[in-house]
Structure 1
């Protein structure tokens, strides 16, 4: 297929070519992969500035996106892509294969750094998805930080750079510029731009930006980061969000309130114990779905109200394909028993879905949240269990609501009235507002610069 780039894609390409470090904050569907592959081909074969680029991506993206995208376009078909996946022996064999681009899943970042030690061979690194490096405590960040000085170029791709607030930006930006803009340490970044927010004595749980901090941070990033939103450049069908309210049975609501109040729910076959706020949150979310793990790891089923509501929504789709997102493994198993559905597990599932061969597909947002193209298979999403993470939520919805979608996208949320489900929906809305503030602040002024 002949590649005829849009003006915004030309702008993003030039930005990557002209920046040693580039943060490309593009909405899903704007073509991050083809833009980056085009930049790699130019830098490698025309400008001779790089010799061995590496792409670090979520597993499913590493398995089935980068090589497929390269084969799709005439100007990229010559690129040889080695997928550094599978067992240790298979990964080593791939690394020893002659190729233009090497692609590895992000979980093996530390292994790769340890494998090469002081002989890091990759002069360009593409981080797809950059926001998966948002934790400064994660092994993948610490490992990549060691070899950052050996990388001539770094490109970070994401649609959600600050899924939980501006505090997430430090480690991501550090991998781009080695600390030049936001500082060399997370402690210094916090002290300059944030104040303690929620805390328990000396333990600080969250931070809030100081007055003027947001604008200062945006200004710091404006020269190496660009942001583009799909609504500004693509004619994508409308997305309709629907909240399907579920009423929990009186007994289940009584159990919900008891756990919320006492942090303990005695049950016949095993007790449910919540020893911390985080555990309590997860347990309450599980109860709204109808089942909860007890202290021994067993599953205690409490009600079927969400399953009934789910069945109604699937039936109301009138045969149109439906993608269902679940939060916990026991939700997957209960849904499978209740509905005739298929679980997204292999690349073949993706292909069959896009062919229209799967009427109901079940997926976890963490496994389907980045890079997968599912828009050809359907336009209806149902959230059985809601995630706290804006990143998971936004990226999962974007598998369907993206370029190439021809129908109005309907996103249903099963929300139990008077429960934590309502709080999660509000939190996701609040985080989305904060995310938009960041994206708008660094948005590329395309209209003026390409005209």
Structure 2
């Protein structure tokens, strides 16, 4: 395989980090070829240590499609055989068969980590690749606690650990290591170096670099970084974490333009929106709608901006449709696109239902078999998907360059990963990202949150880059 110069640099950095720190974080922008770079790392390591075996843990779509496709595509350039252990829960036979194959590389999806942990007491893998490391940012999540325990084998003598052979290294891949803030970094970096850089516990990490923000008595809802925290945290993880930015490494990528479409909320919807925000309860079409806490309130207000409201659970009532203001604006974008294919992101099933009702057979979804091939053949006028369903492993850059957000997400990671379905290496046209916004609503708050998180995430990526 012929790597780009920046990919060769990433390979060298990773191999050195494995030797010195037992782990490495490659924080590479979307489209820089994290999978190919990792294949090269594993191939070189395997050449030096033929007895080594690798476990690749990835989001399901990436595990089932991207990793096998890339390994097959570059099969003439590496000596790695692989097996995919991603069978569904009702039929674990495929997973068991993959494990029994004894392949050099075993690929499994994140959801099956618990099954793997209970099914295999003595892990035969010397090295672990965590594709989309940001999926382990929560220290209370089962998948983190499981890997933390397995990661502990790194310092155990071979044959003496309850789980068998020690892990030689852990490689973490992501383009968004701090999507929500610096608190996200502790769990991810712990899995890379065993807690040496940022502390062995989340409590010690907080005490060292954070102070309580919003709290109620002893319950802290938000931790704020101390003034010196950013620089010191970046300095602590820089020896084993590497950032590369697409704008630096792929200067030939077409530019990206973000276009915000400000659409006035219809008067009737505005009246209901303001009343619900104030009272947190109302009756619509004979059905009750209420918000018991701030999270539910935000979700309900987002429904209003989407032109629909879902009744409370247990109510025998249909979704209440309020208006099609955003769909009308989408229609204008569609007309102006002059036949170009459009990737549209929605948040609620009712948005998808109304898209299908309005545009009939023009609307397709990402769960359809062979949808990428159909898209590349220009037979999909509108491809509709939820950002959580398509943020990984869906490469649409060869035949589309227009993205529309009917309803924005709060998550910077979901937002950037979703846009990267078309805004990535191989794209030859300027990317357009259209965001349909209703001013003076929760939509405006989402824009502010995404901008703030993007600023911090960008600063983290800048700090860890190496020219």
> Does 1:272 find its partner at 2:292?
no
User: Secondary structure of 1:386's partner?
Assistant: coil
Q: Which residue of 1 aligns with 2:402?
A: 380
Q: Unaligned stretches of 5+ in structure 1?
A: 447-451
Aligned residue among 417, 420, 442 for 1:398: 420
Contact 1:70/1:76 (<8 A) preserved = no
CA distance in 1, matches of 2:114, 2:341: 39
The Cα shift of 1:75 comes to: 4.1
Contact 1:71/1:77 (<8 A) preserved = no
> Does 1:125 find its partner at 2:128?
yes
CA distance in 2, matches of 1:77, 1:301: 55
Q: Which residue of 2 aligns with 1:30?
A: 32
Contact 2:65/2:393 (<8 A) preserved = no
> Does 1:71 find its partner at 2:72?
yes
CA distance in 1, matches of 2:260, 2:40: 41
Q: Which residue of 2 aligns with 1:102?
A: 106
CA distance in 2, matches of 1:345, 1:251: 36
CA distance in 2, matches of 1:379, 1:63: 25
CA distance in 1, matches of 2:191, 2:75: 32
Q: Which residue of 2 aligns with 1:258?
A: 275
CA distance in 2, matches of 1:105, 1:115: 15
Q: Which residue of 1 aligns with 2:159?
A: none
Aligned residue among 155, 172, 184 for 1:168: 184
Contact 1:382/1:414 (<8 A) preserved = yes
Q: How is 1:24-423 mapped onto 2 (pairs within 5 angstroms)?
A: 24-44=26-46, 46-48=47-49, 51-73=52-74, 75-76=76-77, 78-87=79-88, 88-117=92-121, 119-148=122-151, 149=153, 150-234=166-250, 235-296=252-313, 298-339=318-359, 340-346=362-368, 348-423=370-445
1:337-372 deviations in Å (ceiling 9; x for gaps): 222300101561122223322111011111111232
The Cα shift of 1:50 comes to: 5.3
Contact 2:308/2:320 (<8 A) preserved = yes
TM-score normalised over the length of structure 1:
0.95
Pair 1:352–1:233, CA change in 2 (3 A)? same
1:10-45 deviations in Å (ceiling 9; x for gaps): 10011122222010000011111001001111111x
CA distance in 2, matches of 1:173, 1:133: 10
CA distance in 1, matches of 2:127, 2:369: 28
Q: Unaligned stretches of 5+ in structure 2?
A: 154-165
Pair 1:351–1:199, CA change in 2 (3 A)? farther
User: Secondary structure of 2:421's partner?
Assistant: coil
CA distance in 1, matches of 2:279, 2:81: 59
CA distance in 1, matches of 2:368, 2:207: 45
CA distance in 2, matches of 1:216, 1:289: 42
TM-score normalised over the length of structure 2:
0.92
CA distance in 2, matches of 1:201, 1:275: 21
The Cα shift of 1:198 comes to: 2.2
Contact 1:355/1:376 (<8 A) preserved = no
CA distance in 2, matches of 1:60, 1:15: 28
Runs of 4 or more consecutive aligned structure 1 residues displaced over 6 Å after TM superposition: none
CA distance in 2, matches of 1:394, 1:97: 37
Pair 1:346–1:35, CA change in 2 (3 A)? farther
The Cα shift of 1:77 comes to: 5.7
The Cα shift of 1:76 comes to: 3.7
The alignment's C-alpha RMSD in Å is 1.4
Contact 1:50/1:124 (<8 A) preserved = no
CA distance in 2, matches of 1:16, 1:156: 10
User: Secondary structure of 2:284's partner?
Assistant: coil
Q: Which residue of 2 aligns with 1:14?
A: 12
CA distance in 2, matches of 1:355, 1:210: 52
CA distance in 1, matches of 2:212, 2:346: 33
